[in-house]
Homo-oligomer: A and B are copies of this chain.
Amino acid sequence: WRIGEGWDVHALVPGRRLVLGGVEIPFDRGLLGHSDADALLHAITDALLGAAGLGDIGTWFPDTDERWRGADSAWLLAEASAAVRERGWQPVNVDATVIAQAPRLGPYRAAMQAQIAACLDLPPQAVNVKAKTAERLGPAGQGLCIEARAVVLLRRAPCA
A residues near B (Cβ < 8 Å) are 1-11, 32-33, 46-47, 49-59, 92-93, 95-97, 99, 106, 109, 125-132, 134-139, 141, 144-145, 149-153, 155
Contacts and interface: CB of A to CB of B under 8 A. Distances in A.
A153 B11 CA distance: 32
Contacts of A3: 3, 93, 95, 151-153
A130 B126 CA distance: 24
A47 B135 CA distance: 19
A56 B6 contact: no
Contacts of A139: 137-138, 141
A134 B137 CA distance: 14
Number of copies: 3
A52 B1 CA distance: 17
A95 B46 CA distance: 10
A5 B96 contact: yes
Contacts of A109: 55-56, 59
Contacts of A95: 3-5, 47, 50-51
A154 to B, nearest CB: 9
Contact of A53 (B5, B46, B126, B144): B126
Nearest to A138: B139
Contacts of A131: 56, 58
A144 B50 CA distance: 26
Contacts of A130: 6, 46, 49-50, 55-58
Contact of A6 (B93, B97, B127): B97
